[in-house]
Amino acid sequence: MPNPAILTVDDDPAVSRAVARDMRRRYGDRYRIVRAESGLDALDALREIKLRGEQVAVLLADYRMPQMNGIQFLEAAMDLFPLARRVLLTAYADTDAAIDAINIVDLDHYLLKPWNPPEEKLYPVVDAMLEAWLATPDVAIPETKVVGHRWSARSFAVRDFLARNLVPYRWLLADEPEGGRLLTAAGMAATDVPVVITSDGKALARPSETDLAAHVGLSTTPALDFYDLAVIGAGPAGLGSAVYGASEGLKTVLVEQRATGGQAGQSSRIENYLGFPDGVSGAQLTERARRQALKFQAELLTTREVVGLERCGSATMLRFGDGTTIAAHTVVLATGVSYRLLDAPGLADLTGRGVFYGSASTEAPNCSGEEIYIVGGANSAGQAAVYFSRYAHKVHILIRGDDLGRSMSQYLIDQIDAIPTIEVHPNTQVIEGEGDDHLERLTLCDQKSGRTRTVDTSWLFVFIGAEPRTDWLGGAVARDANGFVLTGPDLLAEGRRPAGWSLPRDPYHLESSMPGVFAAGDVRAGSVKRVASAVGEGAMAVSLVHRYLEAQ
């Protein structure tokens, strides 16, 4: 990482050179001295520094400059480097303005010209500023930035991918000044969005998830060809298997097609998970589990799609979408389920542009003061309603049944009843969505009376059904009519073992019809659709993995 910068700006070239000279003499071995002769040039320099993810420790600005005076510059600079220490250079006649600047830009100090000798009048002030900055530095988290359009499905997909993978980023609109400046600095145009600027200053135009993952520090390439345990899917069940497998000495790889956490990772608040009496967000739970898996040296691969399983002797081969393969002694299938698409005219074209599947919590601040609609009556819908009620003027929950009691936990029902801005609409179905560049209207139907009505809204969040992510398995393992993986006793039809079963024993409780391949969590037929049970099954699968390996 380059040395932090000290930036000086003065429109008088002679003064500008003199300030920079004195600063280099004292601080040049530890800080990079950046000189500018106008506020606009200085801001451009700051943007380049920001684009590269570097640090600025101190800003020294002359008050009297054309186009943009020192106070205006410092005010604009605060948006880029809020913790950089701010010093205003003034003449005696400008001391009142300097005092005003203390309130306007939280000025740290002002210096009167001339500052000679610098050993007495300049360096002690800057020394104090640097000491204060070092105590609470403006650490340039190497910050990822996303520039895009408000109602762009591709922009939303990039933001959602980063958020679900817990990658901090800053979202900027392409048609706003800062977004435009970043595009200019990156040599891009508004037609190139979404543009992602990585922490090392690399600009990516409309990146694929695989490219994006590789550039933001997510691992996408396996380190080995063979593992003791391969876990497919990084939801609660998969994370549970990875943590327990790696902690017990198994060489473990966790493969996720999109983002760790699964549906649970999108939950705004889980309040019935053991050990968290005040509740925990899905993102927090996911991040702790991910860190725990890495602590035990599990390998996590992101944006890798497994498209097939094949038995090869005593091992199982995993085939990726790009044609590459890895093998493992044992496999845990933990691919979970996905929300079913809402089949109504107009909605498919508006997906990501007002119609969202799952909580899409990145959109919550944008819903401030507006009315939103949520479809679904299970816990995920209830958690989203409570969360969005902090932002939206009104939250409407649309359910097909008579009430929420059939599928939602009582604690959530009680919370919803206590929030006046949430309204539940029973026996109500969305039958159409309309809008030009984004969702603008919904047509709702009361299923009992048959009456329809149209409502104006730009926000629809859908939480319906649970479809297992198992099509890719083909006939490799036995599944039920709905696609869920059959395991253990469910495989024993009339006391007979599944066709092709090669071992002289019955399948273990979580074992599929392919020996050594286990299923855990929502993807398993007959599982309890709760986070705690998924984690428990993930851990239980590892104990059965040990039993399987010991018998080999």
Contact, 441 vs 433, CB < 8 A?
Answer: yes
Burial of 180 (0-12, 13-18, 19+ CB in 10 A): middle
Which among 127, 147, 142 is positioned nearest to 201, based on CA atoms? 142
Provide the pLDDT for residue 271: 83
Token duo for residue 355: 């119609």
Assign 349 a pLDDT band (cuts: 50, 70, 90): very high
Domain with CATH 3.50.50.60 in the chain: 226-338+467-551, 348-462
The Cα 21–Cα 508 span in angstroms is: 76
Place of tokens 């913790």: 83
**Facing residues of 146 across strands?**
171, 196
Please check the confidence at residue 472 and state whether its pLDDT lies above 90.
yes
The Cα 163–Cα 442 span in angstroms is: 28
Contact, 416 vs 422, CB < 8 A?
Answer: yes
Provide the pLDDT for residue 358: 81
Which helix (DSSP H) or strand (DSSP E) does residue 373 occupy?
A: strand 371-375
Token duo for residue 35: 């000189």
> pLDDT by residue (tens digit) across 1-34?
689 999 999 999 998 999 999 999 999 999 999 9
Please check the confidence at residue 141 and state whether its pLDDT lies above 50.
no
- CATH superfamily of the 144-215 domain: Glutaredoxin (3.40.30.10)
Assign 416 a pLDDT band (cuts: 50, 70, 90): very high
Assign 76 a pLDDT band (cuts: 50, 70, 90): confident
The average pLDDT across 51-55 equals: 80
User: How many other C-beta atoms lie within 10 A of the C-beta of residue 441?
Assistant: 14
Token duo for residue 72: 């205006």
> pLDDT by residue (tens digit) across 358-396?
877 778 888 999 999 999 999 989 999 999 999 999 999
Please check the confidence at residue 288 and state whether its pLDDT lies above 50.
yes
Please check the confidence at residue 174 and state whether its pLDDT lies above 80.
yes
Highest mean pLDDT (candidates 153-162, 379-388, 451-460, 462-471): 451-460
Provide the pLDDT for residue 399: 96
Could you say which of 3.50.50.60, 3.30.460.10, 3.40.50.1450, 3.40.50.720 is the CATH number of the domain covering 226-338+467-551?
Answer: 3.50.50.60
Class of CATH domain 5-135 = alpha beta
- The verdict on domain 348-462 having CATH code 2.20.28.270 is no
Rounded percentage of the chain residues whose pLDDT exceeds 70: 96
The conformation of residue 176, written as its DSSP 8-state character, comes to S
Please check the confidence at residue 93 and state whether its pLDDT lies above 60.
no
Provide the pLDDT for residue 254: 98
Please check the confidence at residue 106 and state whether its pLDDT lies above 80.
no
The Cα 549–Cα 552 span in angstroms is: 5
Assign 96 a pLDDT band (cuts: 50, 70, 90): low
SS3 481: coil
The Cα 213–Cα 400 span in angstroms is: 39
Please check the confidence at residue 503 and state whether its pLDDT lies above 50.
yes
Token duo for residue 498: 């599944």
Alpha-carbon distances of 396 from 89, 352, 442, 461, 539, rounded to whole Å = 55, 19, 12, 10, 38
Which among 278, 261, 262 is positioned nearest to 270, based on CA atoms? 278
How far from chain centre, in Å, is Cα 234? 14
Domain with CATH 3.40.50.2300 in the chain: 5-135
- For 53-67, give the DSSP string: T--EEEEEEES--SS
Burial of 551 (0-12, 13-18, 19+ CB in 10 A): exposed
Domain with CATH 3.40.30.10 in the chain: 144-215
The average pLDDT across 420-446 equals: 96
Buried b or exposed e, range 456-474, using 16+ CB within 10 angstroms: ebbbbbbbbebebbbebbe
Q: Is the peptide bond prior to 114 cis by the omega test (within 30 degrees of 0)?
A: yes
Which residues, 6+ apart, have CB-to-CB distance to 289 below 8 Å?
236, 239, 240, 243, 260
Token duo for residue 160: 């959602």
Among 86-100, 297-311, 324-338, 391-405, name the one with the lowest average pLDDT.
86-100
| Phi, psi for 270 (deg, rounded to 5) | -110, 115
Compute the mean pLDDT over every residue in the chain, rounded to the nearest whole number: 90
Among 92-96, 346-350, 503-507, name the one with the lowest average pLDDT.
92-96
pTM: 0.74
The average pLDDT across 50-79 equals: 86
